[in-house]
Homo-oligomer: A and B are copies of this chain.
Amino acid sequence: MDWTLYVITDAKLSRGRSHLEVAQAAIEGGASIIQFREKEMTTRQLVETAEKIKELTEEADIPLIINDRLDVALAVNADGVHVGQDDMPAALARQLIGPHKILGVSASTVEEALQAEREGADYVSASPVFTTPTKPDAPPPTGLEGLRAIVEAVNLPVIAIGGINEENVAEVIGAGAQGVAVISAVVSAPDIAAAAHRLRETIEAARKGA
């Protein structure tokens, strides 16, 4: 798995561009994973949209992860599902998707990360690392220290999310994150592909420097 640049689609933050346009441009720019996150659509629309995104991710040979909606993930045979602390409990999600699909779990503390690991997560997203306007109801940020503590606590890849951008991404990689998940830093950019590309290059440079 290449966890480098995990792009989460969010139609509301995408300046009028659709999930599909965002996913396409993010893939062009070097996204290594796409997560489809959408809370407003009907289930029918979710399934139809996810099916179309899956065509793109399959062609690019990268995984498609569905946020929260395990029914949609199963319906389109996505590569995995990501659950937050308000979503399906991780152990139940693992049981329903089986052993082969990717299960990601958001964790804002070491305790949540350890629980996610016990319950069958394939990766943990340390969330949020920095304060972010994208999720006003998010838990307090972990900061770089909290991220490092989670990285040290679990035997899973840790993806950092929340307020990460070109300026701070090197520190996040330095703290041990296997990759970075972004929403606004990529999907709100005027040129999504270019933003993804620059972020990916910065991450790869940080890895070499580390």
Contact = CB atoms under 8 A, between A and B. Distances in A.
A205 to B, nearest CB: 38
A45 B86 CA distance: 8
A92 B47 contact: yes
Nearest to A47: B88
A117 interface: no
Interface string A75-112: 10000000101111100100010000000000000000
A195 to B, nearest CB: 30
A71 to B, nearest CB: 4
B85 A44 contact: yes
Q: Which are the 10 A-B pairs with shortest beta-carbon distances?
A: A71-B71, A42-B86, A70-B71, A43-B87, A44-B86, A43-B88, A75-B92, A74-B96, A43-B68, A44-B87
